[in-house]
Amino acid sequence: MNTILPFLKDLLSMPGLSGYESPVAARIEETWSPLADRVQRTRLGSVHAWRFGTGAAPRPRALLAAHMDAIGLMVTQIVNGFLRVTAVGGVDPRILPGQPVTVHGREALPGIVVMPRAALLPAEIGEGVVPIEHLWVDLGLPAAEVEQKVRVGDIISFATSPMELSGETIAGHSLDNRASVAALTVCLQHLRGRTLNWDAILAATVQEEVTMAGARTSAFAEQPTLAIAVDVTFAKGPGANDWRTFELGKGIVLAWGPNIHPALHRRLKEIAEEMEIPFSVEYTPRHSGTDAYAMQTAAEGIPTAVVSIPLRYMHTPVEVVALKDIERAGRLLAEFLCRLDGAFIEALTWS
């Protein structure tokens, strides 16, 4: 596990909002290149790492996708040196006041999200949650200097540093979904020296939080025989303890529902049981809210599954995951790829 932690902490220290993933994409490309037969970026900026199989051509191929983009903010107005903002992705305004941020203007500028005191807000807001349109980002600079360095449309990322917690857990922004990018990296590490029958494409996709464009275009371009989305799901924690949540550090989660191909779900369960990898099943009566939906509905339709890592405090700057769940996901995915053969294509029937 120590081998993946420095890489994960790097990912959690980098910007890479939806549509602006280049900084984190470069770091992923650098790490994946020695582990893969070929690494390339798509026209939209997703990173694809290929491991070529040894079976007769044309070989079937498996696509494993984890999105690398993050939620954040964007500048909408500059007023007397202070910045009004809007959300990029699903940002809860309750977590914003007091947050340190980085404004990516003509240079990277440290800032803080602030709110007026209640007496200066509209009466209907009162002492409740302050909507994002009433929040500001303060850069601590004179108004004239802000005008020179910041433009409307500049993006703003969270600036909290990753923190190792007790119990082999880590907290930070963007663990949704860079924890799963780390899991794909573990998968690539476990594939070293092993032979595949199928071709495997491991993808760090763009724009999942806003459009799912990365997974949709990657699936359409590569036309895989099957696809697996690797993402995070809700871990149990304060106020989150019902059937929709899962124990942190107690194993991975396999989704089940109309977004999930039955044959893939069964195979992942079988391998997890054989490898003694603990897992739970997440019931998703609609699509999973992950890249799986975009891949399943690409082209003529692609058999798809979802492997998830439990995460606390989703879409906040202090998301928490267990490192051993990242390792478990990577091991399971590597073993799944190694066991793909010609016979499995016959099992891909919806039953």
CA distances from residue 138 to 5, 104, 251, 261, 324 in whole angstroms, order as listed: 33, 14, 41, 48, 38
End-to-end CA distance of the chain: give it in Å, rounded.
37
User: Do 279 and 269 touch, CB atoms closer than 8 A?
Assistant: yes
Residues 6+ positions from 46 with CB-CB distance below 8 Å: 25, 203, 204, 205, 206, 214, 215, 217, 218
H or E element in which residue 336 lies: helix 323-338
Active site residue 208: yes
| Alpha-carbon gap, residue 334 to 187, rounded angstroms | 5
Which pair of structure tokens corresponds to residue 75? 């500048």
User: Do 227 and 214 touch, CB atoms closer than 8 A?
Assistant: no
Find the angle CA(115)-CA(117)-CA(118) to the nearest 5 degrees. 110
Which pair of structure tokens corresponds to residue 303? 């058999």
- Residue tagged 């990365």 (tokens): 214
Annotated catalytic residue within 208, 282, 319, 335: 208
| Alpha-carbon gap, residue 214 to 21, rounded angstroms | 11
Nearest alpha carbon to residue 151 among 100, 88, 96, 104: 104
| Alpha-carbon gap, residue 131 to 96, rounded angstroms | 10
- By annotation, the residues acting in catalysis are 208
